[in-house]
Chains A and B, each alone.
Chain A
C-alpha cells in the first residue's frame, strides 16, 4: 500500500509526509486519502480512521527524527493575500463575463494586490477580438470611461487552458513539475484568498467554456484539500452566475465565506446593454459589488457586513446569498482583509 506525497510527483513513501508541513510545502495528508475516503464511504468511519491511524502510529513510534506533530495552527498570522479570478465563458456574446472578471482584477490591483499574487483565468480574448470595435479596450459601462484592460494586464491562463482540470490544479497546487511559478497559487497557512468566478451556471454546477462543468462537490472537495494542505487561512468565494448559491451547498471546510449572486431557482441578470459594442457589458451583481469598492481605497476600514448590506434585491433582481456558518468571526469585525494587510 504505497502512499504518495502531494507535490513531489513520485510515489515514494517518506516519513516526512506524516509530519507537519515544512516550508518546502509537503502536505500532512498523503495523496491517496481523498480517493480512499470516497471508496470507503459506505463503511464504518471509526474503523477507517483506525486503519489510517495505524501506519501513522507505527511510524511515530519507530522514527527517530520526531518533529513536534502539530495540527493546523489556529494561531497562524495573516501575512499575504491572493486572488484567483476566473472567467469561464467563451464567445463574443459573453463579453460581460470577461468585463466582470477584469473589473474585479482592476479593483483588486488598485487596492494593493500585485500581479504576482493574482491568478487571472480568461477563457476567451475579448479585447483583441475581431468583433471588438475598440481594440485592446474592455469596458464595463456604456460611458466607456474606464478601460479595464489598461496597459499592464497579465493573464495567467488563457483560452483553451481555462478548464476544470487546470482550475482544480491551481486551487490544490497539484501541477506538473514544468508549470512555471506565475501559474501556481503559492499560498500558505497565512493566506487570505479571494476566489471570484463568473460565467453561466445552474443548480449545483458552473459551466466551463460550454464544454464541461464544475460541480458543487468538486469545488467543495478542492476547498477541503486546500484546507488540509494549509493553503489558506480564510477563503472568500464570490460567484456571479445563475443560481450561484447552490454551488456552495457542499462546502464544509472552516474559514470559508461564500457570496453568491442568486439563490436556487433565480437567475442573475446583466446590467445594461452597450449599443456601441453590441452586447451587455456587465452583470448586476458585479456592478453593485464594484460600486461598493469604487468608494474604497487602500486605507478604508469597510467591513464585509457593509458589503452584504449594500446588496439590494430590487436592484439586483435576485437575492444575494451569503454563507457565514463556516466562518468563525463576526462579520462586522472583518475589515476588508482580503484586499490589504
Chain B
C-alpha cells in the first residue's frame, strides 16, 4: 500500500524529530551523570599548644552510581573506580604516616585526632562485598595493586602472616573486613606523588599547590590518608586527607613579651609552606580555608573580656575572614571557633596568605581522651618478655561522672602480634591502681585468634570495664620469642622486629564537632566529617622486639669447611689407593732407556742411508 507522499514526508519528519529528542535526552542523561561528579578542596589550620601548627588538607571526589560497567570520568580518578569495581570494595582506608601523634599536647578527643591520628607506617583495612571464601585472595590482589599505585611495599601484607580479620575490636563487621599494618614502611615524596595525581588539579592549582615537599616532610607528624566508600545508592566517595604538624620557625616566637611570658609563634601560610595560595582549582565545586581556634583559646579570650572575633586582645588574623562559625555542643555553650576564607575571592594578583599573630602570651590545652593509652615491653634476654599496656586517667571522666560506685568506663583494645612473638594469652594480668584484680572483674568480653607458626598472627580483641575512680590500670601479657628461618630475616635483622600499634577505643565517648552552617547549599565535606558520630580512639606505640639473630656468615663457613674436609679426605684416599712409591722413578728410567735405544737406532739408520747413497753415486 503506497502512502500519499505528504503523509510519508510527515511521518519521516516526525520520526526524525523523535530520534532527535531521544538523542537529546540520552545526551542530557549522560551529561547529568558526568556533571554530577564533584570535587571539593579544603584546608584547616590550627595553632597547637606546644608552639606548633597543624595543617589539614581535605580533598573529596565523588562519583555518582552508574549502571553500566564502563563509564567516562572527568573528575573522579579512574584508577580508583577500577579498583573498587575489580575488587568489590565497599569501604577502604589506606594511610601512610610518619611520626607519632602527641596525644598529650595535641588532643585526643576531637574528630581531628580521632580520624587523623594514625599508627606509623602503612595501615590498610578494607571491607569487601564478596562471599567470605574469596576475600583472602582478593585482599592479596588488592595489596599488590595498591603497592603499584602508591609506590610502597604494601604487597608485604599479602601473606596470611601479615593481616588479620577482627570481628568487633576494630570495626563491627560480619567477617568481610581485613586489616594489616606495616610499621616500618618509609613514607616519602614517592608516596605523595601518585596520591596527588588522583586529584583533578594535581598539585598545580588550588590548595594542593601549597604542598612544598621539604616543608611537609620536615614536620613532626605527617599522615596522608585515602578513604573510600562505595555503595549502590551513593556511588563512590573518595576522601583524601593530608595532616601535617609543623613548627613555624619565626623570629617573633622566640621573643619574650613585656609581661615576662613567651609569646606563641606567629605564623602564616607562607611561613609554613613557603608559598601563598593564588587561586582555587577551577574544577572544584568549592575551595575553602578554615582557621580553627580551640576551646582553650576561646575560653581565655572570654576571660579577657573581649568578643571572639578575628581581631581581639589575644590574637589577630592577618586577613579578615569571610565568615565565622561557632561550634555548638550539647549544652548550647560555644566552644571552638572556625573562621572561613573562600578561595574564590583570591587569585594570583591577590593571593591568600592566612596567618595568626599573637598579642599576649597564652597557654592552653586540648581536650584529651579519658585515658592515655601506652604500651611498652618488659623483660630482658632473647628468650621471653612481656607486653604491658597502661591506661592513665587524664581527668576527663571527672567532668562527666557522678560519684556513684557502679560507674564504669568501657575501653576496647585491638592488638595484632606477629607469630614469632608467641603470646601466652592465659598469662593476662590486670593491675588497677597497683592492686592485682581478677580478670573477670575487668575484662567483659575477649576474643582471641591465637597465632600459628609461620601462618597467622595472634589477634586479640578485648572489652574492658574500668571503674571511674581509677587512676592507672596496667595489663601484662607474657610471650616467648620464636625462631625464624635464615631466609626470613630482613637484611638489617639486628634492628629488631616490630609489633604494630594497638588500637584503644572508648565506645561511650562520642567525638564529633558540629559547626552549624548558615548556608544549606554549601555543605563542607570537612565539617560533615567532623559532625559524624565517631568513637574516641587512640593508637599506642609500635614495639620493637629484638629477636635472636644467627650468625649469617655460618652457611658460607659450613660449606667452605665441609668442602675442605671432603677434598682432603678424598684426596688422601685416592693418593693412598693409586700411588706407588718409586714406581714413578722406575717408569721414568725405563722411558729414558727406550728413548736412548730409539735414538741410537735412528742414528745408525741415518748413517746407513748416507753410506748407501754415497756408494750409489760412486757407482754411477
A209 in the interface (beta carbon within 8 A): yes
- Inter-chain contacts of B375 with A (CB < 8 A): none
User: Judging by beta carbons under 8 Å apart, are A160 and B490 in contact?
Assistant: yes
Residue interface mask A180-209, B partner, CB < 8 A = 1: 111100000000000000000000000001
B145 touches A128 (CB 8 A): no
By a CB distance below 8 angstroms, the chain B residues around A159 are 153, 185-186
Number of B residues near A (Cβ < 8 Å) is 32
B260 to chain A, nearest CB (A): 34
For the complex, give the distance between the alpha carbons of A91 and B491 in Å. Answer: 10
Q: Is the CB of B491 within 8 A of A135?
A: no
Instruction: Kindly state whether residue A47 has any CB partner on chain B within 8 Å.
Output: no
Q: Mark B122-161, 1 if CB is under 8 A from A, else 0.
A: 0000000000000000001100110111011101101000
Q: Give the docked Cα–Cα distance between A273 and B331 (Å).
A: 64
Are B214 and A134 interface neighbours, CB within 8 A? yes
Let me know if A136 and B216 touch, CB within 8 A. Answer: yes
Q: Tell which of B140, B156, B491 has the most Cβ of chain A within 10 Å.
A: B491
Q: Across the interface, which residues of B come within 8 angstroms of A209, CB to CB?
A: 491
Closest chain B residue to A130, Cβ basis = B98
Question: What sequence of 0s and 1s flags, for each residue 159-203 of chain B, a beta carbon within 8 Å of any chain A beta carbon?
Answer: 000000000000000000000000001111110011000000001
Interface status of A178 (Cβ within 8 A of chain B): yes
Report the Cα distance A310→B479, complex, angstroms.
Answer: 61
Q: How near does chain B come to A185, taking the closest CB pair, in angstroms?
A: 13
Pick the interface stretch among A48-56, A146-154, A261-269, A332-340. Answer: A146-154
Q: Which residues of chain A from 136 to 167 have a CB within 8 Å of any chain B CB? A: 136-137, 149-156, 158-161
Let me know if A136 and B140 touch, CB within 8 A. Answer: no
Category for how many chain A residues contact B: 20 to 34
Cα A183 to Cα B155 with chains together (Å) = 12
- Give the complex CA separation of A160 and B156 in angstroms: 9
Q: For window 179-233 of chain B, which residues contact chain A by CB distance below 8 Å?
A: 185-190, 193-194, 203, 213-214, 216-218
* Residue B349 interfacial (CB < 8 Å): no
Q: Closest approach, in angstroms, between the C-beta of B22 and any C-beta of chain A?
A: 40
Q: Are A180 and B98 in contact, with the CB atoms below 8 A?
A: no
Min distance, Cβ A199 to any Cβ of chain B, angstroms: 12
B492 sits at the interface (CB 8 A):
yes
| Pairwise interchain contact B194-A154, C-beta atoms closer than 8 A | yes
> How far, in Å, is A133 (CB) from chain B's closest CB?
10
Of all chain B residues, the one with the shortest Cβ separation from A178 is B144
Given contacts A136-B217, A155-B151, A182-B148, contact A127 B189 (CB under 8 A): yes
B493's closest neighbor in chain A, by CB?
Answer: A211
Q: Is the CB of A180 within 8 A of B151?
A: no
Alpha-carbon separation in the docked complex, A113 to B193 (Å): 18
In this complex, what residue of A is CB-closest to B184?
Answer: A159
CA distance A202 to B153 in the complex (A): 29
A152 to B144, CA, bound (A): 22
Contacts of B186 in A (CB 8 A): 125, 128-129, 158-159
- Contact check, B214 vs A137: say whether CB atoms are below 8 A apart: yes
Q: Is A90 an interface residue (CB 8 A)?
A: yes
Question: B185: nearest residue on chain A (CB-CB)?
Answer: A159
Q: In the complex the two chains form, what is the Cα distance from A76 to B190 in whole Å?
A: 35
The CA-CA distance from A134 to B213 in the complex, in Å, is: 11
Contact of B188 among A136, A156, A183, A211 (CB under 8 A): A136
Flag if B190 contacts A180 (CB, 8 Å): no
Distance of A251 from chain B, by nearest CB (Å): 26
Return the chain B residue nearest A149 by Cβ.
B189
**What are the residues of chain A within 8 A of B218 when measuring CB–CB?**
135-136
Complex Cα distance, B192 from A155, in Å, reads: 11
Q: In angstroms, how far is the closest chain A Cβ from the Cβ of B147?
A: 7
User: Which of B141, B148, B203 is A183 in contact with, Cβ under 8 Å?
Assistant: B148
Closest residue of chain B to A122, judged by CB? B190
The residue in chain B whose Cβ has the minimal distance to the Cβ of A90 is B491
Is A178's CB under 8 angstroms from B190's CB? no
Contact indicator B491/A179 (Cβ below 8 Å): no
Q: Whole-angstrom distance between the alpha carbons of A178 and B140 in the complex?
A: 8
Q: Which residue in A91, A161, A178 is a CB contact (below 8 Å) of B153?
A: A161
The 4 closest A-B pairs by CB, nearest first: A180-B148, A125-B186, A128-B188, A135-B217
Task: List 18 other contacts, CB 8 Å, given A158-B152, A180-B148.
Answer: A125-B186, A125-B188, A134-B214, A135-B214, A136-B217, A137-B214, A151-B213, A153-B193, A155-B190, A158-B153, A159-B153, A159-B185, A160-B491, A178-B141, A178-B145, A180-B149, A209-B491, A211-B491
A-B contacts, 16 listed (Cβ < 8 Å) = A90-B492, A128-B186, A128-B187, A129-B186, A134-B214, A149-B188, A153-B189, A153-B193, A154-B190, A161-B153, A178-B141, A178-B155, A179-B148, A180-B149, A183-B148, A209-B491
